[in-house]
Amino acid sequence: MISSTQDDRPKATAIPYRDEPLPNVPNDLVIPNVLSLDFDERLWGYFVNLPRVRKSGILSRHRHTGPVHATTLHGKWHYLEHDWWATEGSHAFEPPGDIHTLEVPDGVEEMVTLFHVTRAYIYVDPDGKPVGVEDVFSKLASAKMHYERVGLGANYVDQFIR
């Protein structure tokens, strides 16, 4: 049996792994300063969704086809359908199928939340009828248009795709 306690771990030395990489293991993805709020504006956002909202109001009404984990990094927000508030440092779990309307309230100068989204958003009207869909493919298309518009080129997004 393999134990997971600190005392039972074999001693490691400062020598990197020397054998061949295991098959089908992609390279690590490291994006420097992704949580810094003070870097080049042209680089903002990726899917996992990391919106930076700088005005109050309704962002969207949507239903998730898979679970979502949200960690609020700055500011606050809530869903009109629930009585809880996501404030800086809080975490929310959104179950698949939940329909909610995201609002950033008056007085919040900036809201930044890391949404780990699986599958897709289905945008709906107040009665739940679908009016649009957003998934990783539409996010990539939007990112390509954004990077092209700000002068980095559409292929800038390729470095974030695994």
**Helix (H, G, I), strand (E, B), or coil: what is residue 6?**
helix
Strand partners, 115: 49, 70
> What are the boundaries of each domain within the chain?
43-133
Residue 69 Cα distances to 8, 115, 140, angstroms: 33, 6, 20
User: DSSP state, 91?
Assistant: E
Look at residue 114 in the predicted model and tell me its pLDDT. Answer: 94
- Tell me the average confidence (pLDDT) per consecutive run of 10 residues in the chain, 162 residues long: 63 81 72 65 68 93 90 95 94 90 96 91 93 91 94 91 74
CATH number listed for the domain at residues 43-133:
2.60.120.10
E strand map for the chain: 52-53, 57-64, 68-74, 76-79, 85-87, 91-94, 99-104, 111-117, 121-124, 130-134
Look at residue 85 in the predicted model and tell me its pLDDT. Answer: 96
Look at residue 115 in the predicted model and tell me its pLDDT. Answer: 93
Look at residue 77 in the predicted model and tell me its pLDDT. Answer: 96
Strand partners, 97: none
Tokens of 160: 């974030």
